[in-house]
Amino acid sequence: MSTALLRSYRDQTVLSKEPRTPYSRSTPQRHLRWISSTPALQAVARRSISSSAVRQGNKVPHKQKLFQEDNGMPVHLKGGSADALLYRTTMVLTVMGVGYVVYELVKAAYPQKKE
């Protein structure tokens, strides 16, 4: 299979009419056509895509149960410590930003005296 793959690549590069330079543009359709015509590449892509979903498992029912509990917590904090850290970081940056805007407005309202 690999010799046929190399032979088809060699035939495509030899039979191409445009010169190969580092600055020449090649159309993506041409490369996609070559990949879609290779059964080995299709098999590898199909195998890796279909097996990745099986290994991970279905986490949706667990997450639904977690977020639908009535434990008094807001929804944006039910995800755990990462959500709490992200929330606190966002709040600190927001307060700092508002403080800086107020500082700049006050500074602009009272210009410095020229000597």
CA-closest candidate to residue 69, choices 84, 56, 80: 80
- The verdict on residue 45 lying in a domain is no
Residues written for the chain:
115
- The pLDDT, as a whole number, for residue 103 is 97
The domain in which residue 97 lies consists of: 76-114
- The verdict on residue 81 lying in a domain is yes
Q: What does pTM read for this prediction?
A: 0.45
- The verdict on residue 110 lying in a domain is yes
Per the structure, the count of domains in the chain is 1
- The verdict on residue 16 lying in a domain is no
- pLDDT by residue for the chain (115 residues), tens digit each? 566 655 655 555 555 555 555 555 555 555 556 656 677 777 776 666 655 555 678 889 998 898 898 888 888 888 889 999 999 999 999 999 999 999 999 999 998 888 7
